[in-house]
Chain A
Amino acid sequence: MIYDLVLTIGVMLLYILIFRLVGTTVLTVLGQKKLYIHRETVGFFAYFALFQMVYVPMVLLRARFHLLAYGWILTLVILVLLCAVYLVTAGGKSPFAMPGDTVMEEGLLGYMKWPVVIGCAAFVVFLVLQQYLGWDTAFYMGNMNEAIYTDTMYYYNGNDGTLMKSLDFRYALSGFSMQFAIPCFLLEVSPTIMCYYGIRGLGAILALLIVYDFGMLLFEKNESRAYLLVTAFLAVNMFFFTYSATSLFFIRRMNEAKGYCANVVLPMVALLLFMIYKKFGRHLWALLFVICLGSVGASMSSMMLVPALLGLGAVLLAINEKRLRPVFYAIVCALPNLCYVALFILNHEKILVIKL
């Protein structure tokens, strides 16, 4: 078990490194090196966007899980090499670094950084030690276990282990569980450990980075104030225990795709919309498209919620700018999600059924 835990932490660090590499590449390609947004969060979405392109055809073709695992590792190696070569040849200042034109408060607030970083680390430890287990969490863990044990994807019900009659698109279209099952399969790590520690820890880190970026945007690159926002955010979450609020999914159910949707996907889309509103960078709609492309990979709930948020933001932007262009851009950004909605409805209405 300790071996599993150490490997899980290693895998998560590797994920963060890859997200940073991929995120940096995406921002460099889009000419956004100076944008104050964490590369890890951008990379997370770009990574899942690419993973979905490999995963969705395979799951619809009822491919074996080991084919996905090896196929994705091969794709990942190529991706990492391409990103590395691109970044080396692109030249310029180290693209990994965040832009340095930030300010700190004077006085006590100027020393916020390390106490907040240590506080966040302690919070992540508190979070991963939550022993909550509900039906949905068990379902995700069951799906990961089934994929490894039976070498199938979504053939069996994650909760009770019975063979399904057909592929349930409500769960099968998102590669979230299968993505994290891949390192479990390759390194023989327990999916339980991966779910409780790895997925939760990674999600919490990404969520906190997004809140920090929100702070940098709201307080015009004032680091001290951004750290204050992160502190207040943690405090609010600690005290806001209600059944369906995002804090429930942050503290207790971050190992579920819903937790990622509530605390990573939607805040990220909101952050990008806010950046567009504030005219904070160039080609932000293109970046938003990448985020939307990867959003369903992180959670199936995103297929409906992201277009809803995009629609709301776009109409607001259109009113603000007094032109319809934001609405057009938002429709383009929502297209990937709407494709998933179409597939889901076809399956729900039993028009597109994949028998098992």
Chain B
Amino acid sequence: MTETIDLLIKYFQGYQWLILFAVVYAYSIFKAKKGGRISILVGTVLFFVFIYNDFIYEWMSQLVESGVYYRFLWIIPVTIWIAYGLVMIFLDLEKWWLRIPFVLAALACMFLMDHTWLEPDRGTWSRPENVSLIPGEVLDISDVLTDEHPYGEKIRCVLPLGMSMQLRCVDASVECVIPRRDYLKMNGQSTRPYKQKELAFMIEKNERPDVSRLKKLLDDTETDVIVAYSDYSQGDYLRQADCELIKKTGAYEVYRVK
């Protein structure tokens, strides 16, 4: 059961939420009538026998991939169950002078568990730059690219990781020369071989191949446009490879490949 136990701990990201769920689970059993109590216990056993075990984990890993097995844990409505348990305890307390400290204590406990969305570094809820929630400079670059090719056709681009994701959200004409798996492999998240390793390292890590090699790579991949980080100051290098600056934004430079 090691893999599935690891998965459970990962799902709850530590022990705090697991302990809270266990408390609520125990309270549900304690409060339930005889029939309900048996159903909860039998349901738990069935969950372990039919779903939450290494055999099913292995089977799922072969059928799709091991990375999707955690979704089976969604079958137990953990958040609704915990909420129900908290409401039951709240209602059982009856007196207001007991209920108010309980609510405050529950909120404090959950906050101290250190998994809250309210911490700014966890959330992604800073004031948006514009209505589309996509950075303005990405929209500017999309406008520039639109002028570079006729409507209905694709434009092949070498893009940094973040730009690749954001630009594709607003512009379907963009065809990325560097595929997703190369970025994932660079970050240690994929075991599949690179497809465009040299271009990926050039754009993302500023590891530059020879100019002649770069020219060949751009030719082979039929690249139309390169979007480079301004911080890497790749202007002279790219110009030597017959690239022409067409747009400069705060963090990026856009080059047309001649």
In the assembled complex, A94 has its CB within 8 A of some CB on chain B: no
List residues of chain A with CB within 8 A of the CB of B75.
266, 270, 305, 308-309, 312
Known A145-B170, A315-B46; judge A235-B175 contact (CB<8 A). no
Q: List 24 A-B contacts (CB under 8 A).
A: A4-B132, A129-B125, A129-B128, A133-B166, A137-B169, A142-B168, A145-B171, A157-B179, A157-B180, A158-B168, A159-B164, A159-B168, A160-B179, A162-B176, A229-B83, A232-B84, A238-B117, A239-B111, A244-B70, A261-B74, A308-B50, A308-B51, A312-B47, A348-B63
Contact of B128 among A131, A138, A214 (CB under 8 A): A131
Q: Which 10 A-B pairs have the closest CB atoms?
A: A149-B172, A145-B172, A242-B13, A232-B83, A239-B110, A160-B176, A1-B131, A161-B175, A233-B83, A244-B70
In the assembled complex, B25 has its CB within 8 A of some CB on chain A: no
Pair B79/A247 contact, Cβ less than 8 Å: yes
In the assembled complex, B95 has its CB within 8 A of some CB on chain A: no
Contact of A316 among B42, B64, B117, B176 (CB under 8 A): B42
Interface flags, B173-201, vs A, CB<8A=1, else 0 = 11110111000100000000000000000
Interface size class, chain B: 35 or more
In the assembled complex, B232 has its CB within 8 A of some CB on chain A: no
In the assembled complex, A192 has its CB within 8 A of some CB on chain B: yes
Pair B132/A193 contact, Cβ less than 8 Å: yes
Contact of A132 among B124, B175, B179 (CB under 8 A): B124
Pair A241/B172 contact, Cβ less than 8 Å: no
Contact of A133 among B47, B82, B165 (CB under 8 A): B165
Pair A225/B91 contact, Cβ less than 8 Å: yes
Pair A228/B90 contact, Cβ less than 8 Å: yes
Pair A241/B117 contact, Cβ less than 8 Å: yes
Least distance between A177 CB and chain B CB atoms (Å): 13
List residues of chain A with CB within 8 A of the CB of B84.
214, 218, 229, 232
Known A131-B133, A243-B10; judge A214-B116 contact (CB<8 A). no
Closest to A237 in B: B79
A interface residues, tally (CB under 8 Å): 79
Known A233-B80, A277-B39; judge A239-B117 contact (CB<8 A). yes
Least distance between A89 CB and chain B CB atoms (Å): 38
Pair B170/A190 contact, Cβ less than 8 Å: yes
Pair B115/A160 contact, Cβ less than 8 Å: no
List residues of chain B with CB within 8 A of the CB of A214.
80, 84
Alpha-carbon separation in the docked complex, A1 to B132 (Å): 7
Alpha-carbon separation in the docked complex, A76 to B168 (Å): 30
Most B CB contacts (10 A, CB to CB) among A134, A150, A211, A241 go to: A241
Closest to A226 in B: B87
Pair A242/B11 contact, Cβ less than 8 Å: yes
